[in-house]
Amino acid sequence: MLFFALLVANLLFLAWVRWGVADGTLPVSPGQDVAVTGPPPSRSPATTPGQPALPCTSLGPFPDVTAQSRAAELLGAAGKAPRSRTETLPVNDGYWVFVADAPTATDPQPTLAAIRRAGIDDAYVIPDGPRVRIAVGMFHERTGAEQRAAELKRLQLTAVIEEHTRKEPRYWVDVPGESREGLSASQRAQWGIKTEGLLTVTCP
């Protein structure tokens, strides 16, 4: 009797295992490791590369804030999103001519008197921090400064030429999302923006 009971139990176990394989599942004993087979898990799609940066074009420089504001207003009316921008740049304002420091290290007056006796009337003593300097003219063109330096050389004095600059504002209107072709002279004229003397460059 026991023999038949064990035989029936084995047959039932075999049928259970076969049924599990056909169904895609296997009986697992507690604590038993199971190797999972089948297709690998799906991966997230690769990140789409970012869109290229939108263009940005600067229009200017305008002569003053009024012209800058007017252009920004007209661009806004044309459906653009203008941004006003002001930058300050050094601009050449001429050339100073100075006497080298050596003759004026102690007392500049004798050297100044000699220069004036030679007919150079626009010579002056200028304080420069702890020292003083003799300026012998300012010229718009470098050629004029070089001629004055030659006059000092005849007086056996060494001249120093220094460029003089001043700060000057530049008024621009930046237009994000717009190419230079989109701000052509003909297109600006349609919007009522004066085109003379204006440049279109890439925004800084």
pLDDT, tens digit, for every residue of 148-183? 999 999 999 999 999 999 999 999 999 999 999 999
The answer to whether the pTM exceeds 0.75 is no
CA distance to 135, 136, 139, 190, per residue, from 111 (Å): 11, 11, 21, 64
Specify the pLDDT at position 194. Answer: 84
Contact 135, 124 (CB under 8 A): yes
> Which domains does the chain show, CATH number per domain?
56-90+168-202 (3.30.70), 91-165 (3.30.70.1070)
Q: Are strands 83-99 and 159-176 parallel, antiparallel or unpaired?
A: antiparallel
Mean pLDDT (the chain) is 81
| Backbone angles phi and psi of 156, in degrees to 5 | 60, 40
